[in-house]
Structure 1
Amino acid sequence: MSILYIDESGTDALKKSTDIREGNSKYFIMAGILIETKDLEDAFYRFDAIKDKYFKDKIFELKSSFKNLHFKEEYSKFNQNELKQTIKTEVYSAIQETNCLLFGVQINKVPLCDKGILKNKNETYHLAFLNILRAVLNYKKSHANNDNIIIMLDSRENQHNKRMYKLYREAVEQHSEQLKGFNSRDFSPTLNFVDSSYTFGVQLADFVAGALWRGVEKDDKKYSRMLKEKFPTNNGEFVKFSYIVVPEF
């Protein structure tokens, strides 16, 4: 059995202009990190060791945005920006060394909005859920992988969770042709909402999504390049296989 932890980066709101001053991202990224249950303990301790090394309390949600951090006293005199970059590099190195697989969906909202394909922000998540599942199914089929997969997503307020659940189910039920092979034997039929403060896999998914988003939104590919080798490939290519760029039509 494996667990697919999912998180996203960027805003889901519609965007018809490339003006960055709007405060609404051009790209929406959904990322997944797939870990077999036998590898969970090793993955957890790699990540936990980093938090234990640098922070006063390691039981908190460490996000790639690096907000609201409380470092140990011995790091108080360090340059904060340099320290954050050091920790980020250690986190992405830990993901590199972990026995896991990565998946991603890239949605450029501007052309999709211009052509009327994205009409509301729910459709952003709908497309993302559909294609993250397609990416995982591509891998499962090509590698004859029969592991059952449980999907875990960061829990927020009840209204948001209900919205995510409905959009996930709609993506599955309305696109059965694109998701051939998707069934309860391979995937949990529902989303499982978890508290990310206590679920390290969701925190790692946040780091993956953050790296992918910065790579396309800000052209900062330092960390996305570190993760490239963790994406399954087909004939040496991961784009359109485990990393799906939603067509801009």
Structure 2
Amino acid sequence: MHLLFVDESGTPPKPDHDGQAYFVIAGLVIPEDRWIGMREKLIGLKRASGYRGEVKWRFFAPNNKDLDNPMLGWDQQQKNEFRDRVFSIITGTKSCNIIACASESRTAYALGNVNSQEDLYFRTYKPITERFQYFLQDITRASGRDTLGLIVADHRGKGDDDSMRLRHERLIRESGKYTSQYSNFIESLFFAPSHMSVGIQLVDMVAGAIWRAQAHNDRTWFERLRPSFRSSATGQIDGFGLARFPKAGWQGVVLN
């Protein structure tokens, strides 16, 4: 079985937002037999570095002075070295894969069927579920054995979680045309608080790196993670490991 941990970077802009803004949801696929090893590596890294608490992308910002930031007092070089070692846990686990989607707010709202922040959130999430299913199908065909998957998302709040779970369930179960497409999924959508989930903490870092590349054209950490993206046989990421919503009319940089 494969676990897909999901988290976002940024906030879905409101329909009346002035200008183009980007929102990213990232997924990190971890095979069940690799989860314990990755957990032990992250715990060991925290202990060796004197890092106490959960790992979050926003803590690495040069001017972040949040009282709950475990890196208060660290200089930027120390932060970057620690971040690089966190990313090494992901890229060093060859069976891990990144599947993500970036949305472009003004382009999305111009479609006419995206009318709220909740709509934009779910439409950015949906391509990840599709590519996770393709990923599981590919492994099933290659191995000759059914390969199943389960999705775990970051807990945002009861109202948000309930709405997201309902939309996910409708996508997976209620429409006959979707049922066969998601035949490798187990159960429904699960939620976990980030401070209690190694997978959510790791994918938070992934989402932040992608958002930084998409919104600010800073590809430093995106390139660090590039080997772990799901890709085509020719190494293409766009459309395989990183979807765009909406693809038609996309105005920004295409990450590949």
Counterparts of 1:201-240 in structure 2 under 5 Å?
201-236=199-234, 237-240=236-239
Q: Deviations along 1:172-201, whole A, 9 cap, x unmatched?
A: 357664674303xx2123111112212100
What letter corresponds to residue 203 of structure 2 in structure 1? A
Find the aligned partners of 1:109 and 1:177 in 2 and give their Cα distance: 28
Structure 2 gaps, min length 5? 60-65, 250-256
Aligned length: 234
Structure 1 gaps, min length 5? 20-25
Single out whichever of 140-149 and 151-160 deviates more from structure 2.
140-149
Q: How much has 1:87 moved relative to structure 2?
A: 1.4
What letter corresponds to residue 202 of structure 1 in structure 2? I
Q: Percent identity?
A: 20
Single out whichever of 8-17 and 105-114 deviates more from structure 2.
8-17
1:89–1:215 Cα change, 3 Å: same
Matched with 1:152 is 152
Asked if 1:45 corresponds to 2:44, the answer is no
Q: How much has 1:139 moved relative to structure 2?
A: 2.0
SS in 2 for 1:181: helix
Matched with 1:116 is 112
Asked if 1:133 corresponds to 2:135, the answer is no
Find the aligned partners of 1:110 and 1:38 in 2 and give their Cα distance: 41
Q: Deviations along 1:194-225, whole A, 9 cap, x unmatched?
A: 12212100101101111111010011111111
Find the aligned partners of 1:203 and 1:161 in 2 and give their Cα distance: 18
Name the TM-score, length of structure 1 as normaliser: 0.84
Find the aligned partners of 2:91 and 2:140 in 1 and give their Cα distance: 24
Q: How much has 1:242 moved relative to structure 2?
A: 2.5
Single out whichever of 106-115 and 194-203 deviates more from structure 2.
106-115
1:36–1:133 Cα change, 3 Å: same
